[in-house]
Amino acid sequence: MFESFAGEAIGIVKGNKRSPKPWVIVTRFCLPNETVRVRLYWNKRLHSFADVIEVVTPNLELRDNSRIKCKYFAECGGCQYQMLSYDHQLKLKRDVIVKAYKSFSNLPDSSVPIIQNAIPSPFQYGYRTKLTPHFDAPPKEHRKKKASVVDEKVVKPEWLKIGFNKAGTHRVMDIEECPISTPTLNNALPSVRENIYRNIHRYEKGVSLTLRDSLIIPNAGPSTSSTSLEAMPPSDPPVPPPSTATTSPDTEDSTDDALSTMLSQHVCITDPKATVRESVGDFIFEYHASSFFQNNNSVLRPLTEYVRDAIFPPSLSPSTATSSPQPMPTHLVDAYCGAGLFSITLSPYFEKIAGIELSSESIKAAQHNASLNSIPSSKITFRAGDAGDLFATVRQDFPPSQTVLIIDPPRKGCDDNFIQQALDFRCGTIVYVSCNVHTQARDVGKLVDGTKEDGVGRRYVIESLRGFDLFPQTAHIEGVAVLRLV
């Protein structure tokens, strides 16, 4: 029997005379109370990792294989939950956050509020705006051999696999389509794959491709939607984009207005150095195809609006600000700001905003996006550097009690230096957004525990915890924690 945890199933095998201690088996694609046959592929102390061969006794209350839309499911490592109803996926993801704070925050239960239900994604399939299929270098005996052509069609070499890793391995499996990706990317994938077939003899090493869904950029040059030879090593052939644009399913036929029509037209970008354009509410964002930006555009507006409402709850509205013990937030510090998603979408609500990011390329994109959305540099500034250095630059002009700190770090979370500087500066409100709720729980625990002995108005409490489903059909969940000084 198995119990589910964080997208993997953990089974306990009872001890016997040869091995009196119980043995733990970790596998994927199993559900609680299922009996399965597995093949062990990695043994460690008191536990093993395994692949499922057969589900002997399925959990019919939860498992419904008719829901599965991907022919590669249970082989490809990308999705884990396609056999579940979406409501149950959200329940499991909420449970992941509950267990993360119980195991990693080092806080008593009384300090952790009831975790709210996860916010669903508007799209459960067809949402992913970025694909990075990859392939290995040709085997020695196939190098320099051109692909065969039959009836004017290029034939894929038998050895070639273009796709993603098989679950639990580093072996590439061939993937011709991905149902969680947008129609724009799936429509482009056949031409991208055919180009690899045609030019595989020119590759000397394995390559990871980039496909990004982008709004059409008016008056864009050819490099926006085509691959520049200068962007790739000389031995790597270009990957052509699709020849036609597609229409976004959520805006198709919504209006005859020319601007709305333009904004609903999507293309696939395959040049890592080309510009990608997205809209989030009334804001436009542009960035290099190779740089980081959230991969589920459909949930970004609900996410940014939730963060806005968490920062400015009814008790802190302008009409009650004079009677509230907490001053109205007026300044925003955006650590790990990336291309400026939170800084720019929240800009109407703050007097001054400062963002910082290690990637100088992302900072250039953030500065460009501020200009693109007509936000003056007197109001919003971005600089490249370590997130911990940001507090020294804002200490003079940003009143801590009226400053909001947004933290959106990489999966590893924040280092101790950043946590200490955040504690020293003591912003009135902290919003911590994370793709790894386990490191988020650890860091939030440090922020709360680091102020527990301080006086009134100097202690952080967790006001709310909630998940956002940026990755339907997978075990991943984005966590949003709101901390307030009391």
129-144+151-216+262-295 has the same fold as 91-125+298-316+327-485: no
Q: What is the pLDDT of residue 3?
A: 64
Secondary structure, 3-state, 7-58: CEEEEEECCCCCCCCCEEEEEECCCCCCEEEEEEEEEECCEEEEEEEEEEEC
Most confident stretch, 52-56, 223-227, 236-240, 259-263: 52-56
Q: What is the pLDDT of residue 405?
A: 98
What number is the average pLDDT over the span 146-151? 80
Q: What is the dihedral of CA 66, 67, 71, 77, to 10 degrees?
A: -130
Q: What is the pLDDT of residues 294-316, one digit of tens each?
A: 999 999 999 999 999 999 988 76
Q: Does 174 appear as a known binding residue?
A: no
Kindly tell me if the per-residue pLDDT of 173 is higher than 70: yes
How many CA atoms, within 13 angstroms, populate the side-chain half-sphere of residue 67?
18
For residues 225 and 245, give the distance between their C-alpha atoms in angstroms, rounded to a whole number.
10
What number is the average pLDDT over the span 115-119? 97
Q: What is the pLDDT of residues 242-282, one digit of tens each?
A: 434 454 444 334 334 544 454 468 999 999 999 999 999 99
Q: What is the pLDDT of residue 47?
A: 87
Kindly tell me if the per-residue pLDDT of 26 is higher than 90: no
Which of 249, 345, 307 lies closest to 119, judged by CA?
307
What number is the average pLDDT over the span 473-483? 97
Q: What is the pLDDT of residue 249?
A: 47
Quick one: pLDDT band at residue 424, thresholds 50, 70, 90? very high
Which residues are within 8 A (CB) of 313 and not within 5 positions of it... i.e. 6 or more apart?
Answer: none
Q: Does 306 appear as a known binding residue?
A: no
For residues 116 and 440, give the distance between their C-alpha atoms in angstroms, rounded to a whole number.
16
What number is the average pLDDT over the span 423-446? 97
Concatenated DSSP letters of 168-211 = TSS-EEE-S--TTB-HHHHHHHHHHHHHHHHHGGG-SS-EE--E
Q: Which residues of 257-269 are buried (b: 16+ CB within 10 A; e: fewer)?
A: eeeeeebbbbbbb
Which of 373, 385, 478 lies closest to 436, judged by CA?
478
CATH tag, 2-63? 2.40.50
Calculate the CA 368 to chain-centre distance.
22
Q: What is the pLDDT of residue 250?
A: 44
State percent of the chain over pLDDT 90. Answer: 64
For residues 326 and 330, give the distance between their C-alpha atoms in angstroms, rounded to a whole number.
12
Domain boundaries, the chain: 2-63, 91-125+298-316+327-485, 129-144+151-216+262-295
Q: What angle do CA 268, 261, 176 make, to 5 degrees?
A: 25
Q: Does 136 appear as a known binding residue?
A: no
The tokens for 345 are 């979408």
What number is the average pLDDT over the span 463-473? 98
Quick one: pLDDT band at residue 232, thresholds 50, 70, 90? very low
Most confident stretch, 59-73, 151-165, 382-396: 59-73
Kindly tell me if the per-residue pLDDT of 19 is higher than 80: no
Q: What is the pLDDT of residues 338-347, one digit of tens each?
A: 999 999 999 9
**Which has more pLDDT, 233 or 402?**
402
* CATH match of 91-125+298-316+327-485 with 2.40.50.100: no
Q: What is the pLDDT of residue 142?
A: 82
Quick one: pLDDT band at residue 388, thresholds 50, 70, 90? confident
| Average pLDDT for the chain | 87
| pTM for this predicted structure | 0.87
Quick one: pLDDT band at residue 201, thresholds 50, 70, 90? confident
**CA distances (Å), 25 to each of 51, 96, 276, 435, 447, in order?**
10, 19, 43, 26, 35
Domain spanning 129-144+151-216+262-295, CATH class? mainly beta
* DSSP summary character for residue 312: S
Q: Does 454 appear as a known binding residue?
A: no
**Which has more pLDDT, 118 or 234?**
118
What number is the average pLDDT over the span 113-131? 97
Q: What is the pLDDT of residues 351-365, one digit of tens each?
A: 999 999 988 999 999
* DSSP summary character for residue 135: E
Q: What is the pLDDT of residue 366?
A: 97
For the chain, the straight-line distance linking the first and the last C-alpha, in angstroms and rounded, comes to 46
What number is the average pLDDT over the span 14-38? 80
What number is the average pLDDT over the span 436-445? 98
Catalytic residue positions, numbered = 435
